């Protein structure tokens, strides 16, 4: 790979690519599976209206539903991950569309069963479980449905909502294609004065440049590109918010945020505690901004200076092979079983490492039950990429332990706990690196990086969460969402969160326009809460050793077999209280103290 061009996928060594053949050995096998799903779907008809007939029928339905859902999940994941390798591929665009339509067909075929399960009397389900003990495994699943009786509509209404599935994600799909396939950025000059192509994958690399003009050029080029598309993106996001509000209203929730949180039975006070705690501790963030300004020796600190390295000689270039070794050592406190399984993932075709033309930006962990997890990266040989690797492997190991332990019905993870697994890994990595660093300048660099994690994962995601809340409240109150209105909201939040020590550049007003997670309503707050819980859990692991590790592995292994709040409580963290937030902020404050001592 050259510095000035992005390779085509076939130019990258296979050892740096994930092995999707572990899901389906060929596209033909995928087609066969898709056809099997299509043939199986009509079988749901024979169960309609009969779930309360007897225990055996109810059990047969649940097992059949698991079987079909598991297969369609593999079909859907495979097609999408093939497309994410190169979103320009018309073949995989077509396969993905087919998979999405199958998901809609599954939703249509099963739409009547949630209300049907809801209407089965509690005494009947208890009787069924007594008669057929195999049903007891579904107890939590059934309770998670029946507790929301007041929000379930009639079978006909549910069927109608299911049919809307074919276009309910249109706004997200439009933004995704615009953001991943169609958008192009201009070239900028790098540190050597060479013209290089700006991409989303390279953006953070440029923002970490020691050359201020490179940072400024990348910042301006990125946001000027989004600004040209601002009305289209604003229309897409407005449509997405209206969809959220529509679904919450027809399901009789008081608000879209209440609907989103109720899916995992998250008390609203968790969201409220986050926002109020962030506001309480914003002076710490303002203090950090002033430290950064002082260390950089600037008269004015701008948005494009927020990721600049504070220590000139701490230029940490980390290859992918070195990153893997660091991650293995950092996660040693998790125990031998965790580490050996981690190594298997790092070397076993789980990971797609480098950027190529048309590849989806960012990073994620995904996969299908019955196979191993997968991780998509866009590795760029810097410290941030090491943290991305350890973060996504946290997700992957969460899936690995859950899939090894739980039946399919509990194989997923609610985002509220999924981000705990990933950020706990990040916290352990940082503790390892700080412990094994004696060089003063490198230590300052790492302390600042840890502070940046707080800024980016706790404060920044909380700011995103507040932006989402304000946007949804406007629409719920009958107000329109306009591009200018969203820019104004976003600017005021930046002013509030960063304080008067930072120049809030005009271009940052458009940052909301490039955030994909906004299309999954009230998703991002869980990064902040997850980070908070992860700080607490990582310290338990380091202080208590095996007892804490055993609880943590049990947490990873439980999947969605309990509500997220209860899963975390069993691991030792109660997110309905303010104490975890206060503990996290005490760590942040100590890091600020350490940074000031090092200056």
2 pLDDT higher than 60: no
Establish if 179 belongs to a structural domain. Answer: no
Q: In this structure, are 155 and 201 located in the same domain?
A: no
User: Cβ(68)–Cβ(40) under 8 Å?
Assistant: yes
Torsion sign across C-alpha atoms 366, 74, 38, 409:
negative
User: Pairing between strand 373-376 and 351-352?
Assistant: parallel
Establish if 40 belongs to a structural domain. Answer: yes
Best CA proximity match to 552, nearest among 573, 532, 526: 573
Establish if 121 belongs to a structural domain. Answer: yes
Q: In this structure, are 428 and 364 located in the same domain?
A: yes
Q: How far is CA 541 from the centre of its chain?
A: 24
Query: Residue 223 belongs to a domain with what CATH number?
Result: 1.10.287.830
What is the per-residue burial (b if ≥16 Cβ within 10 Å, else e) of 391-428?
bbbbbbbbbbbbbebbebbbbbbbbbbbbbbbbbbbbb
This prediction's pTM: 0.80
Domain span at residue 50 reads: 9-168
Q: In this structure, are 67 and 206 located in the same domain?
A: no
User: Cβ(205)–Cβ(190) under 8 Å?
Assistant: no
Q: How many domains does the chain have?
A: 3
Query: What is the rounded radius of gyration, in angstroms, for the C-alpha atoms of the chain?
Result: 24
Question: DSSP 3-state assignment of 269?
Answer: helix
Q: In this structure, are 149 and 55 located in the same domain?
A: yes
Establish if 314 belongs to a structural domain. Answer: no
User: What are the residue ranges of helices labelled H in 15-89?
Assistant: 27-40, 55-85
Residue 315's pLDDT band (boundaries 50, 70, 90)?
Answer: low
Phi, psi (degrees; rounded to nearest 5) at 352: -105, 115
1 pLDDT higher than 60: no
Q: In this structure, are 115 and 214 located in the same domain?
A: no
For the segment 379-405, the average pLDDT, to the nearest whole number, is 94
Q: In this structure, are 57 and 160 located in the same domain?
A: yes
Establish if 540 belongs to a structural domain. Answer: yes
Q: In this structure, are 40 and 99 located in the same domain?
A: yes
Q: How far is CA 50 from the centre of its chain?
A: 38
Q: In this structure, are 107 and 205 located in the same domain?
A: no
Just list the catalytic residues: 392
Quick one: the chain helix, strand, coil %, rounded to 5?
70, 5, 25
Give the pLDDT confidence score for residue 162 in this predicted structure.
83
Tokens of 489: 């909201």
Cβ-Cβ contacts under 8 Å for 57 (sequence gap 6 or more): 47, 50, 51
Best CA proximity match to 568, nearest among 598, 526, 596: 526
382 versus 311: which is more confidently predicted? 382
Give the pLDDT confidence score for residue 193 in this predicted structure.
93
Query: Residue 379 belongs to a domain with what CATH number?
Result: 1.10.1370.20
For the segment 316-326, the average pLDDT, to the nearest whole number, is 93
Q: In this structure, are 415 and 335 located in the same domain?
A: yes
Establish if 56 belongs to a structural domain. Answer: yes
Q: In this structure, are 31 and 158 located in the same domain?
A: yes
What is the per-residue pLDDT across 116-125, written as a single tens digit (0 to 9) for each? 999 899 999 9
Query: Residue 106 belongs to a domain with what CATH number?
Result: 1.20.140.70
Q: In this structure, are 164 and 217 located in the same domain?
A: no
Q: In this structure, are 352 and 407 located in the same domain?
A: yes
Establish if 531 belongs to a structural domain. Answer: yes
446 pLDDT higher than 70: yes
Cα(484)–Cα(481) distance, rounded to whole angstroms? 8
Establish if 237 belongs to a structural domain. Answer: no
């Amino acid at each position: 790979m050259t510095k000035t061009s992005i390779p085509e996928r076939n130019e990258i060594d296979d050892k740096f690519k994930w092995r999707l053949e572990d899901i389906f050995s060929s596209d033909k096998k995928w087609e066969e599976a898709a056809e099997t799903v299509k043939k199986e779907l009509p079988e749901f008809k024979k169960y309609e209206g009969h779930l309360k007939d007897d225990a055996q029928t109810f059990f047969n339905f649940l097992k059949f539903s698991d079987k079909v859902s598991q297969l369609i999940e593999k079909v859907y994941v495979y097609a999408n991950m093939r497309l994410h390798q190169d979103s320009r591929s018309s073949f995989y665009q077509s396969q993905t569309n087919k998979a999405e339509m199958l998901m809609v067909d599954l939703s249509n075929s099963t739409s009547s069963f949630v209300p049907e399960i809801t209407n089965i009397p509690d005494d009947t389900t208890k009787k069924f479980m007594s008669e057929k003990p195999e049903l007891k495994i579904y107890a939590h699943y059934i309770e998670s449905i029946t507790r929301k009786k007041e929000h379930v509509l009639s079978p006909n209404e549910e069927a109608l909502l299911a049919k809307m599935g074919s276009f309910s994600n249109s706004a997200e799909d439009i933004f995704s294609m615009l953001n991943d396939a169609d958008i192009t950025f201009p070239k900028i000059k790098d540190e050597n004065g060479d013209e290089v192509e700006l991409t989303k994958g390279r953006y953070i690399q440029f923002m970490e440049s020691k050359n201020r003009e490179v940072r400024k050029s990348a910042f301006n080029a990125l946001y000027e590109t989004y600004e040209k598309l601002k009305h289209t993106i604003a229309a897409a996001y407005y449509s997405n918010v209206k969809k959220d509000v529509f679904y919450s209203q027809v399901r009789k929730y008081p608000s879209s945020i209440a609907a989103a949180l109720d899916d995992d039975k998250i008390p609203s006070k968790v969201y409220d505690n986050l926002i109020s705690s962030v506001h309480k501790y914003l002076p710490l963030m303002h203090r950090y901004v002033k430290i950064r300004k002082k260390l950089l020796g600037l008269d004015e600190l701008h948005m494009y200076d927020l990721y600049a390295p504070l220590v000139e000689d701490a230029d940490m270039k980390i290859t992918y092979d070195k990153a893997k070794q660091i991650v293995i050592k950092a996660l040693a406190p998790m125990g031998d079983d965790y580490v050996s399984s981690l190594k298997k993932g790092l070397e076993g075709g789980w990971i797609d490492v480098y950027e190529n033309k048309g590849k989806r930006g960012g990073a994620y962990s995904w996969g299908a039950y019955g196979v191993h997890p997968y991780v998509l990266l866009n590795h760029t040989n810097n410290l941030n990429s090491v943290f991305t690797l350890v973060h996504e492997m946290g997700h992957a190991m969460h899936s690995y332990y859950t899939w090894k332990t739980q039946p399919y019905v509990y194989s997923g993870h609610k985002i509220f706990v999924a981000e705990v697994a990933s950020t706990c890994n990040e916290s352990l990595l940082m503790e390892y690196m700080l412990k094994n660093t004696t060089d003063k300048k490198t230590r300052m660099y790492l302390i600042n990086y840890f502070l940046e994690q707080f800024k980016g994962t706790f404060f920044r995601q909380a700011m995103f969460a507040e932006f989402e809340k304000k946007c949804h409240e406007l629409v719920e109150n009958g107000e329109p969402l306009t591009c200018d209105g969203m820019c104004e909201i976003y600017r005021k939040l930046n002013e509030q969160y960063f304080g008067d020590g930072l120049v809030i550049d005009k271009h940052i007003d458009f940052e909301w326009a490039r955030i994909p997670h906004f299309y999954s309503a009230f998703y991002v707050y869980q990064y902040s809460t997850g980070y908070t819980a992860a700080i607490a859990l990582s310290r338990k692991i380091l202080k208590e050793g095996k007892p804490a590790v055993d609880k943590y592995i049990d947490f990873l292994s439980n999947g969605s077999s309990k509500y997220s709040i209860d899963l975390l409580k069993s691991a030792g963290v109660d997110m309905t209280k303010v104490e975890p937030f206060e503990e996290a902020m005490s760590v942040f404050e100590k890091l600020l103290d350490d940074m000031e001592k090092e200056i």
